[in-house]
């Protein structure tokens, strides 16, 4: 059995890997803001490259494993803390994240539910569905993205999930650097601001993408 400290360190490592993936995913999805004709072919070509690249496939297995390990460890730590009479973790050095620290279990659950929906709508359909091909012979993931984000209820779910993810990231990043022993008082403000900036940019960017597609494809 892993100790609580070992589980927290494992959560830190998987969390940083998932955060790095989020950044790459975000940068790739910026293509959706391009003019529609350009975005259509370019996004499909990008998706085709990712799906056919052996290195990306290997990384994807680490991604799936990281999601599972991160979720399971988070659940175990939350249950242990509740059993001992505490919350996830409250830290007086970051009062702005107190609400997030008390609700990491709820936030994590919302994000996990969103991931299941997101994977089903995009990853599963792209891998096992019957998508049409674009003019270059690539699977038309762009059309799938546009079709899904035309639905107001999915955009609402997406935006709410990005808000939950933002709070989760803000607390998670600060908690991770502290658990890894690099939360030095000298750099507290820098780590806090960097974590908040990263979380806001990523989550607001994803949320705006869904809203942009919804309103430009009416």
Taking the domains of the chain in order of start, what are their residue ranges? 4-216
- Mean pLDDT along residues 29-55: 95
pTM of the entire structure?
0.89
DSSP per-residue codes, the chain: ---HHHHHHHHHHHHHHHHHHHHHHHHHHGGGGS-HHHHHHHHHHHHHHHHH-HHHHHHHHHHHHHHHHHHHHHHHHHHHHHHTT--S---GGGGGGHHHHHTHHHHHHHHHHHHHHHIIIIIIHHHHS-PPB-TTS-B-HHHHHHHHTTSHHHHHHHHHHHHHHHHHHHHHHHHHHHHTT---GGGHHHHHHHHHHHHHHHHHHHHHHHHHHHHH--
Please say if the pLDDT value at position 97 is more than 80.
no
- Mean pLDDT along residues 107-123: 94
Please say if the pLDDT value at position 28 is more than 80.
yes
> Which of residues 177 and 22 earns the better pLDDT score?
22
> pLDDT of 132-174, one tens digit each?
999 999 999 999 999 999 999 999 999 999 999 999 999 888 8
- According to the model, what pLDDT value does residue 121 have? 96
Please say if the pLDDT value at position 123 is more than 90.
yes
- According to the model, what pLDDT value does residue 70 have? 93
- Token pair in block for residue 1: 């059995």
- Mean pLDDT along residues 48-65: 93
Topology (CATH level 3) of domain 4-216: 3 helical TM bundles of succinate and fumarate reductases (1.20.1300)
How many residues in the chain? Answer: 218
> Which of residues 104 and 202 earns the better pLDDT score?
202
- Mean pLDDT along residues 185-212: 91
């Amino acid at each position: 059995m892993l100790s609580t400290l070992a589980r927290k360190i494992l959560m830190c490592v998987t969390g940083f890997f998932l955060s790095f993936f989020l950044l790459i995913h975000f940068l790739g999805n910026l293509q959706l803001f391009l003019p529609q004709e350009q975005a259509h072919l370019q996004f499909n070509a990008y998706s085709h490259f990712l799906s056919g690249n052996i290195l990306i496939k290997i990384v994807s297995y680490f991604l799936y494993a990281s999601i599972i390990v991160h979720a399971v460890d988070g659940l175990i730590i939350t249950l242990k803390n509740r059993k001992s009479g505490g919350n996830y973790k409250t830290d007086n050095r970051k009062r702005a994240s107190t609400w997030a620290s008390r609700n990491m279990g709820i936030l994590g659950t919302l994000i996990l539910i969103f991931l299941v929906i997101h994977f089903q709508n995009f990853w599963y359909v792209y891998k096992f569905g019957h998508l049409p091909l674009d003019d270059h012979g690539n699977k038309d993931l762009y059309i799938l993205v546009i079709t899904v984000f035309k639905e107001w209820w999915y955009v609402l779910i997406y935006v709410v999930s990005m808000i939950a993810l933002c709070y989760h990231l803000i607390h998670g990043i600060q908690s991770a650097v502290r658990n890894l022993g690099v939360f030095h008082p000298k750099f507290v403000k820098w780590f806090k601001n960097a974590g908040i900036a990263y979380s806001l940019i990523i989550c607001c960017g994803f949320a705006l993408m869904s809203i942009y597609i919804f309103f430009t494809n009416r």
